[in-house]
A and B are shown apart, each in its own frame.
Chain A
Amino acid sequence: MAAVAVSHLAKRYSPTAGVVDVSFEAPSGTVTALLGRNGAGKTTSVEVCCGLRRADSGEVRVLGLDPRRDHSRLASRVGVMPQTGGSGACGIYPSVRVAEVVRHYASMYADPLPVPALLERLGLVEVTSTPWRRLSGGEQQRVSLALALVGRPEVAFLDEPTAGLDLHARHTTWALIRELRDAGVAVVLTTHALDEAEALADTVTILDRGRVVATGTPAELTQQAATAPELRFDADPGLDTADLSRALPEGAQAREDRPGHYVVGPQVDPEVVAAVATWCAGIGVLADNLTTSSRSLEDIFLEVTTVDQP
């Protein structure tokens, strides 16, 4: 049985907000990413799994238990990193020092991680005596992650764990999440960073307007959606794609996927690559990031999720 099993979860705040129908599973020793735009239902799904919200309907099981009814039995086995709120709050006393709050949380668990080692691993050694409110946004994120992990959880719910982190801290966090997975922890993370989902997740569940619109491994998602490679390049927005299409070998078409991002397909061969390069050179445009590949997770995401009209 999966460590986290969510089946047809619904939680509505209004006719247009909340979760309508979300199902996913997160086995132990895997990373499951809930991917979606803001308001897609990622955080609500996680909050129901953590027992912070009551579902309107559907079934949620964490380690075989009901997150609300069996909360007291689950709490010591689950680590939660809530999303940082609009005011920067993520559930920590502003005046409490870093080491103090991590030690405080550690004292609530039977077999916690060693606090000094955890702080060192998260790059927090130099701010151990700093009150929470004086930390940078990235440092606050890392303290919040430390609190989620200090109890050595079997399941870790990480709501946008790398939001606001610099590149170095982001990769440190990614490495830690991979280690959690290797240690047998079921990691459920929410993100709207596609590269993060692609780099970390064993399974990706894409949410849109409260529903699951795609699910699978990153490889499955990209393979399902594309059978043949395409050519892509970046250039100034607004190039004449009709003229480019006329310059291509028969059957190939060019389109501007989004401003400044061009895709040529449905088949790519050396003649197509040469034709694109020649056409660009002819109008004095540099084709940047020119690649031939199957569609990326980003393409799938843009395809299956809706775009709000301004």
Chain B
Amino acid sequence: MTTLDLTPATAVKPSRRPLAAQTLMEAKLILRNGEQLLLTIAIPIALLVLFAKAPIANIPKPRIDFMTPGVFGLAVMSTAFTGQAIGTGFERRYGVLRRLSTTPLSRAGLLVAKTSAVLAVEILQAVLLCIVATSLGWSPHGSIAPVIGLLALGTATFSALGLLMAGTLRAEATLAGANLLYLLSLGLGGVAYPLSDYSHGVQDILGLLPLTALAGGLRATLDRGGSVPLHDWVTLLVWGAAGATAAVRWFRWD
């Protein structure tokens, strides 16, 4: 029989190691999950190729220049909101969050690890989307700073909304709800179908969606080389602040 020295440890743990370990684990879990990969990588790339090449919808030309910013926004939503909500919802159901809270990893550390893993996956998404879009003739305009700012704000906003959903609903309800909102946003959020296809009244309402703001803001700079409209910044900020406030108030760990 193997002998174990079970004498209690006395050293105090540095706080960064649990965080790094958890970030790595979160990223591995996302990339290992087939459904998550489909949602975060395969669907955005497939949509980009399909809508850029096939004569679907009344998309301004060059189609790839219109589609790429919207798909960037969709990719952020798929990882930060849909994937994170579903993953966290089931972790909550399985008691993973609860058990982790008994380890040296703090709750704040867990949220930082989740966000870091989301950012790591988003970088992978961005690289792949850039490669595919460039190969399809995409030529981006504008400066990189507002793009990074929008992607960061979009990630924070969708993360807050995803965690709000995961922390308040049952795992099955989160699974259904997050996928439904993803599909609705895909159709109504200005990703593949220009908002100009809708009446003015509907446009005003759809313009309040977080994905519409993110896709619209990215398109304003990447497609048209202009500045990001204040309306898009404010819309994302309001959704993010409301989501984060509600998540802090109502998120349940078990």
By a beta-carbon cutoff of 8 Å, the part of chain A in contact with chain B is 50-52, 71-72, 75-78, 80, 82, 85, 87, 89-96, 104-105, 107-114, 117-118, 120-121, 147, 149, 151-154, 176, 179-180, 183-185
Q: Looking at the complex, which one of A77, A78, A90, A184 makes contact with B99 (CB distance below 8 Å)?
A: A90
Name the B residues within 8 Å of A112 (CB-CB).
9
Q: A91-B96, A152-B7, A180-B6 are in contact. Are A108 and B103 (CB under 8 A)?
A: yes
Task: Tell whether, in the assembled complex, residue A91 and residue B104 are in contact, meaning their CB atoms are under 8 Å apart.
Answer: no
In chain B, positions 1-38 with a C-beta closer than 8 Å to chain A are 1-14, 17-18, 21-22, 25, 29, 32-33
Task: Tell whether, in the assembled complex, residue A110 and residue B7 are in contact, meaning their CB atoms are under 8 Å apart.
Answer: no
- Count residues of chain B with CB under 8 A from any CB of chain A: 37
B252 at the interface (CB under 8 A from A): no
Task: Tell whether, in the assembled complex, residue A78 and residue B8 are in contact, meaning their CB atoms are under 8 Å apart.
Answer: no
Q: A89-B95, A179-B4 are in contact. Are A76 and B13 (CB under 8 A)?
A: yes
Looking across the interface, which residue of chain B has its beta carbon closest to that of A120?
B2
Among B18, B21, B94, find the residue whose CB has the most chain A CB atoms closer than 10 A.
B94
B102 at the interface (CB under 8 A from A): yes
Name the A residues within 8 Å of B9 (CB-CB).
76-77, 109-112, 151-153
Looking across the interface, which residue of chain B has its beta carbon closest to that of A119?
B2
Name the A residues within 8 Å of B11 (CB-CB).
110-111
By a beta-carbon cutoff of 8 Å, the part of chain B in contact with chain A is 1-14, 17-18, 21-22, 25, 29, 32-33, 91, 93-96, 98-106, 254
Name the A residues within 8 Å of B32 (CB-CB).
95
List, sorted by A's number, 11 A–B pairs whose CB atoms are closer than 8 Å: A52-B101, A75-B104, A80-B102, A92-B99, A95-B32, A104-B21, A110-B9, A111-B10, A113-B4, A153-B8, A183-B5
Q: Looking at the complex, which one of B93, B100, B106 makes contact with A72 (CB distance below 8 Å)?
A: B106
The complex places the Cα of A90 from the Cα of B96 at a distance, in Å, of 7
Task: Tell whether, in the assembled complex, residue B6 and residue A52 are in contact, meaning their CB atoms are under 8 Å apart.
Answer: no
Task: Tell whether, in the assembled complex, residue B95 and residue A110 are in contact, meaning their CB atoms are under 8 Å apart.
Answer: no
Among B5, B8, B101, find the residue whose CB has the most chain A CB atoms closer than 10 A.
B8
Task: Tell whether, in the assembled complex, residue B98 and residue A91 are in contact, meaning their CB atoms are under 8 Å apart.
Answer: yes
What is the minimal beta-carbon distance from B21 to any residue of chain A, in angstroms? 4
Name the A residues within 8 Å of B33 (CB-CB).
95
The complex places the Cα of A80 from the Cα of B18 at a distance, in Å, of 17
Among A93, A109, A114, A180, find the residue whose CB has the most chain B CB atoms closer than 10 A.
A93
Task: Tell whether, in the assembled complex, residue A183 and residue B7 are in contact, meaning their CB atoms are under 8 Å apart.
Answer: yes
The complex places the Cα of A109 from the Cα of B104 at a distance, in Å, of 7
Looking across the interface, which residue of chain A has its beta carbon closest to that of B98?
A91
Q: A149-B6, A152-B7 are in contact. Are A78 and B94 (CB under 8 A)?
A: no
Task: Tell whether, in the assembled complex, residue B1 and residue A121 are in contact, meaning their CB atoms are under 8 Å apart.
Answer: yes
Q: Looking at the complex, which one of B1, B8, B13, B91 makes contact with A108 (CB distance below 8 Å)?
A: B13
Name the A residues within 8 Å of B1 (CB-CB).
121
Task: Tell whether, in the assembled complex, residue B25 and residue A104 are in contact, meaning their CB atoms are under 8 Å apart.
Answer: yes
New A-B contacts (19) at CB < 8 Å, excluding given A75-B104, A80-B102: A50-B102, A51-B102, A75-B102, A85-B95, A91-B100, A92-B94, A93-B29, A95-B32, A104-B25, A108-B21, A108-B22, A108-B104, A110-B11, A117-B2, A117-B3, A120-B2, A151-B103, A176-B6, A179-B6
The complex places the Cα of A169 from the Cα of B234 at a distance, in Å, of 59
Looking across the interface, which residue of chain B has its beta carbon closest to that of A116?
B2
What is the minimal beta-carbon distance from B96 to any residue of chain A, in angstroms? 5
The complex places the Cα of A117 from the Cα of B4 at a distance, in Å, of 7
Q: A93-B29, A110-B13, A152-B8 are in contact. Are A76 and B104 (CB under 8 A)?
A: yes
Looking across the interface, which residue of chain A has its beta carbon closest to that of B97?
A91
Looking across the interface, which residue of chain B has its beta carbon closest to that of A175?
B1
The complex places the Cα of A104 from the Cα of B104 at a distance, in Å, of 12
What is the minimal beta-carbon distance from B18 to any residue of chain A, in angstroms? 4
The complex places the Cα of A156 from the Cα of B17 at a distance, in Å, of 22
The complex places the Cα of A152 from the Cα of B5 at a distance, in Å, of 9
Name the B residues within 8 Å of A149 (CB-CB).
6
Name the B residues within 8 Å of A147 (CB-CB).
99
Q: Looking at the complex, which one of A80, A105, A114, A184 makes contact with B7 (CB distance below 8 Å)?
A: A184
Name the B residues within 8 Å of A71 (CB-CB).
106
**A-B pairs with lowest CB-CB distance, top 10:** A91-B99, A110-B11, A152-B9, A111-B9, A91-B95, A183-B6, A107-B21, A108-B18, A154-B8, A80-B102
The complex places the Cα of A185 from the Cα of B9 at a distance, in Å, of 10
The complex places the Cα of A109 from the Cα of B9 at a distance, in Å, of 9
Looking across the interface, which residue of chain B has its beta carbon closest to that of A67?
B102
Q: Looking at the complex, which one of B3, B91, B94, B102 makes contact with A52 (CB distance below 8 Å)?
A: B102
What is the minimal beta-carbon distance from A206 to any residue of chain B, in angstroms? 26
Task: Tell whether, in the assembled complex, residue B102 and residue A93 are in contact, meaning their CB atoms are under 8 Å apart.
Answer: no
The complex places the Cα of A9 from the Cα of B98 at a distance, in Å, of 21
The complex places the Cα of A113 from the Cα of B4 at a distance, in Å, of 8
Name the A residues within 8 Å of B14 (CB-CB).
110
Q: A91-B94, A110-B13 are in contact. Are A75 and B103 (CB under 8 A)?
A: yes
